[in-house]
Structure 1
Amino acid sequence: MSSLQAVFWDMDGTLVDTEPYWIEAEHELVEAHGGTWSHDQAQLLVGQALTYSASILQEAGVAMGNREIIDHLTQRVISRCRQQIPWRPGARELLEDLNAAGVRCALVTMSFKPLAQAIVDALPADHLEFIISGDMVSAGKPDPEAYHTAFSTMAADHTERTGEELHRARCVAIEDSVPGTAAAAASGMVTLAVPHFTPLPDTGQWHLAETLHGLRTADLQNLLANAPAPITA
């Protein structure tokens, strides 16, 4: 069996439970502009690119530019995270186990760099090697660009570091949302979907798990032998 080489982590809803912080910030912003924001509307933005979310908030009555909305929401979520980072069950323990096993890890998120960096900084320095964030790509999830970029970034020095090339079929992406799992699967990586705020269909394109709690490196390794057929994009 081929060994697990790398794990690419989504952030919001997968590594940290920040979706309630985003939804709270969206409610506050829409209401401050005289509009209303429902739970169903908020659910539609889970896992989406922030530029898309900003456009939907504008349709709901927020009279601000895209970047203004993104910066406002991001700062609100960073502020909440400075009070308490809501880690997802089992996420830090799995990261620790992967690190001990020598499996490389990186973050692939649609949040912008300031928030992503705040989360990475709260972890041991060697647990997540780099960040690919929503402000570093031209197309957000469900487009696979972020995962393609992350793979290329890690592949650039993988042979020098390990003596072997990086292969997509030996990489696992962990996601929680419909856009995220679609992006990861389309990148050709083995995808582990751990639904949180939104249900995920069992399409055969990814593996489903109820939680990361109790999962270890060996469990992700086992996914490689039973990976769904890759989707290329």
Structure 2
Amino acid sequence: MPAHHLDAPQAVLFDMDGTLIDTEPLWMAAEVALTSRFGVPWTAEDAAAIIGSAMTSAAAVLQGRGVDLPVPEIVEDLTAHVAAAVSDEVPWQPGARELLAAVRAAGIPTALVTSSYRTLAEPFVAAAGGFDAVVAGDDVRRAKPDPEPYLTAARLLGVDVERCVALEDSRSGSASAVASGARTVLVEGLQEVADRPGMSRVASLRDLTVEHLVRLAAGETLVVPPTR
């Protein structure tokens, strides 16, 4: 479907961690490795609670639990751990590559909007074949859940954020996208996310099509059932 279709999204704004790539287990492993060095207990529930948080916020939680390092060093340690794993092999989420290809084939601009820092985002952007705009966690003053990352992406693309579709998997990320005015789709992931007014839901990117994105941009709110 061509992008000049009257109701097509002006852009699709993709979150990275947990949405396009399955990095959450890698972040959890990095957190466990770091907390273990300081004898700090860290559970799967602890890890799930900070999914989608700004890197400095997540690092502050770890510091508060007893990781005796400055916040910037905690951020650097975690990012280096995950970047090394992703550089070995990109852990694509099911349906992510296919949806990204379909959106590009339709001529719809794309942006990557991530809380991760550029040191992690850039290798993924290269592996993914590039985006029309990239907003990383260290590119903004106010990270997710603030709307600044999504507003910044729309500004860089020169589009109306309210005519964009944003794909997210976390509480923090979906709050950011909804607050920006983007048509937001919650992709079910590791973190339980409550409904928000106007937010659509999908079990997997495998279940999302360009036609769904057109309907979302036109103002529909969708709950897309799994295709399998």
Q: Normalising by structure 2, report the TM-score.
A: 0.91
CA deviation vs aligned residue, 1:158-214 (integer Å, no higher than 9, x gap): xxxxxxxx2223210000001100100000110011020112222333100111104
Within 2, Cα distance between the matches of 1:200 and 1:57? 22
Paired position in structure 2 for 1:7: 12
Q: Secondary structure at the match of 1:70?
A: helix
Q: Please, which of 26, 32, 35 is the counterpart of residue 31 of structure 2?
A: 26
Q: Secondary structure at the match of 2:69?
A: coil
Report deviation, 1:106: 0.7
Native 8 Å contact 2:8 2:218 kept in 1: no
Report deviation, 1:215: 2.2
Q: Please, which of 115, 118, 135 is the counterpart of residue 123 of structure 2?
A: 118
Paired position in structure 2 for 1:224: 217
Paired position in structure 1 for 2:140: 137
CA deviation vs aligned residue, 1:88-140 (integer Å, no higher than 9, x gap): 11111011011111000010000000100111111224xx1221011111111
Q: Normalising by structure 1, report the TM-score.
A: 0.89
Paired position in structure 1 for 2:101: 96
Q: Are residues 1:87 and 2:92 paired?
A: yes
Trace 1:74-223 onto structure 2 (pairs within 5 A). Answer: 74-125=79-130, 128-155=131-158, 166-223=159-216
Paired position in structure 2 for 1:159: none
Native 8 Å contact 2:111 2:153 kept in 1: yes
Paired position in structure 1 for 2:65: 60
State the Cα RMSD in Å. Answer: 1.2
Native 8 Å contact 1:206 1:227 kept in 2: no
Q: Identity rate of aligned residues, in percent?
A: 40
Paired position in structure 1 for 2:226: none
Instruction: Structure 2: give runs of 5+ residues left out of the alignment.
Output: 1-5, 222-228
